A and B are shown apart, each in its own frame.
Chain A
Amino acid sequence: MQIVIASGKGGVGKSTVTASLLYLLKDEYRLIAVDADAEAPNLGLLLGVTEWEEEREHVGAKIARINTETCIRCGICQMRCPYECIYVDDEGNYVVNELTCEGCNVCGLVCPVPGTITLEQVRSGVIRKATTKYGFPIISAQLDVGRPESGKLVTEEKEWAKQIMKEQNLEHMIVDSAAGIGCQVIASVGGADVAILIAEPTPASLSDVQRVYKVVQHFHEPAYLIINKADINPGFTGLKEWAEQEGIPILGEIPYDSAIPKSMSMLRPFIEAFPESKASQAIREIAEVIKQEIIK
């Protein structure tokens, strides 16, 4: 089974909750964790991974380059670039901004001087594998800064995870997705059996989780909700009302607990670092519901 954790908004607790859930499910099930937030990967850190066993470079991104020797400075490439990534430098040369180029090759196609603009393959990032101290493996991707194609990196890491599942006869893949609703999230949600949404009771988090829920609906996946920092905004009923309206079961509520940031600094799941904290009691109950309702 493939379970994806998503929230739309960043910083609501996807990785912290995922790390503790993994910890609680690891003894009963054979798991693999996938950190699918390739632009800000954190799950490995939270699971105490310090060294990676295997690292695969992902060479997939394409970046346009302009040969200034043969360039006739006609400016057509700059005019036609759909993403406005070509600029003129101090010496009057047309240059591609490699940190914003999408690699579509329109500049190369419209350039009147053959061979002047070429599309070059560059490294877009790395995908790494480790075995956590808890026994289960983790796959984590990291996009190189300023590169496109983070979604493709996530697709690739899920493929690798599937391969490991076969080799090691694992049962469940838990995917910790990125913030947002774009390519990384679509690659994370696509192919999952169940989505667990995480939100906090704030208007911003509600707005973002509603958006990511639409993505989940697009893939016809059943969704569940965990309310994190449940007590930070008493009187805000919008989140629960929305879940009720949409018929999204609430798996549980985790209160704001200073044990969580403390455990993050210790690089340990909060359930392990502070098993008696309020948050840990809540996540234990949530894990039980997941075992009964979702994994079965």
Chain B
Amino acid sequence: MQIAISGGKGGTGKSTVAINVAVELAKRFKLILADLDVEAPNDHLLLGVELQNEEEVNQFMPKFDYSKCIKCRKCAEVCEEHAIITLKDGTPFLMPTLCSGCRACEIVCPVPGAIQEGSRLIGHTYVTPTPYGFTLVTGKLREGEERSMPLVVAAKKRLKNLDYELLIVDTAAGTGNTVSKAIEGSQLLIAVTEPTPLGIHDTELILQLGKLMGIETWVVINRADLGDVNEVYRRAEKYKAKVIAEIPYSENIVKTYVSGTPIVTTDYPEAEIFREIAERIYEFLRG
């Protein structure tokens, strides 16, 4: 089983909801939380743990053997990223940061061995045990790299070798194809939003994505007292998404957030809201 926590706009509380729900549901399932916000992964900080079991993510990169290259330019022509440029005589050169590692150049190269296996470090994945009875899997893109898709794919591949009953995916902000890649495979999508016109605008985009992907979508309104929640309800209804919780702005939430303590492990009254969200998810998963 897999559920995804997303929301469109950044900073709405995706990670806060994800880690707290994970702590609660880990009492009932063998659980993995995957932080697939590979450009800005923060779940480990919110859980107060240091990332462990680092593995490099190396991406294929063509290495030209100029003694074999016949300068036919096919590699450059086929490269959709325009990562290969050719000199006047057809000699190919690679611009590494544009290369997506897709191997299209290697596939079309007519001379065996003219394009050799090169690789480039584009980031890391981590598998970190937490004190809360679940494992955190994290993807982290290397600074200066443009493409987050290969890192999301690499983190998902690492997940395949791990044993779990329930996977909770925490996605990046945004609504592009890397977010849909992170969500892919989920039975439930939870969009965390805030009731400002900005939050609502971006949530509508994620609701569209949920609809296109055919995934049941719920909405959690964070900082619910800082705007007009009725508008969120109206938008959610338009996409047949249920609003399942309202979380008020609270200094206790901020306190636990900055200290790396999931609020559900404390006695603060706000903890109950997160426990109820987890309960709703549990009921959904049980059918």
Contacts and interface: CB of A to CB of B under 8 A. Distances in A.
Interface residues on B, range: 35 or more
A250 B206 CA distance: 35
A11 B11 contact: yes
Nearest to B146: A183
A199 B195 CA distance: 22
Nearest to B210: A145
A214 B108 CA distance: 36
A42 to B, nearest CB: 4
Interface string B141-183: 1011111111001001000000000000000111111111100
Interface residues of A, number: 66
A114 B181 CA distance: 28
Q: Which of B8, B144, B177, B180 has the most CB of A within 10 A?
A: B177
Contacts of B196: 261, 264-265
B133 interface: no
Given A84-B153, A181-B39, A233 B176 contact: no
Contacts of B101: 82
A179 B39 contact: yes
Interface string B14-44: 0100000000000000000000010110100
Interface in A41-96: 41-42, 45-46, 62, 80, 82-84
A8 interface: yes
Interface in A143-161: 143, 145-148, 150-151
B10 interface: yes
B104 A105 contact: yes
B176 A146 contact: yes
Given A143-B175, A182-B148, 10 more contacts: A45-B197, A102-B177, A109-B108, A147-B177, A180-B172, A181-B143, A202-B257, A207-B45, A211-B40, A215-B144
Interface of A: 8-12, 15, 37-42, 45-46, 62, 80, 82-84, 97, 99-106, 109-110, 119, 143, 145-148, 150-151, 178-183, 185-186, 201-204, 207-208, 211-212, 214-215, 218, 232-233, 236, 258, 261-262, 264-265, 267
